[in-house]
Amino acid sequence: MDERTLVLVKPDGVQRGLIGEVVSRIERKGLRLVSLELKTVDRSLAEQHYAEHEGKGFYEELLSFITSAPVAAMVVEGPRAVAAFRQIAGGTDPVEKAVPGSIRGDLALETGSNIVHGSDSPESAEREIKLWFG
């Protein structure tokens, strides 16, 4: 039974020209791209997307970062797509929790600019896909 997940290439990834690299890793894993759109993120979308982090010390920084420049939003599909993309992405902190061979482990240096977002559960994925793609 296939599932879907929301993937974002965040502003750092787009500015560094890494959309193709991320898409390539998704496709090589065997996952499928269902939708892909470049989007400018307004404050309201950012707040809804990151609602679980409201009140944390890095929340404001997170919102200004995600609204600073376009992101590439995609819906990705396949068996266990949520967990599969989290594996491809690697740990949140790309150094302390480095996963060699992962997007963050290979290509990122700081937690605040770790290139990609992937939904953390099928329930989050459903909420986030509605939010980003209606």
Catalytic site residues? 117
Q: Distance between CA 6 and CA 49 in Å, rounded? A: 11
120 interacts with ligand DAT by CB under 6 A = yes
Count of chain residues binding ligand DAT (CB under 6 A): 8
Binding mask 50-79 for ligand DAT (x = CB under 6 A): --------x---x-----------------
The reply, when asked if residue 28 is annotated as ligand binding, is no
- Least CB distance from residue 92 to ligand DAT, whole Å? 3
Q: How many CB atoms lie within 10 A of CB 26?
A: 25
Task: Identify any residues that bridge with 113 across adjacent strands, giving them in sequence order.
Answer: 110
- Near ligand DAT by CB under 6 A, which window of 11-19, 77-85, 108-116, 123-131? 108-116
Instruction: List residues forming the annotated binding site for ATP.
Output: 10, 58, 86, 92, 104, 114
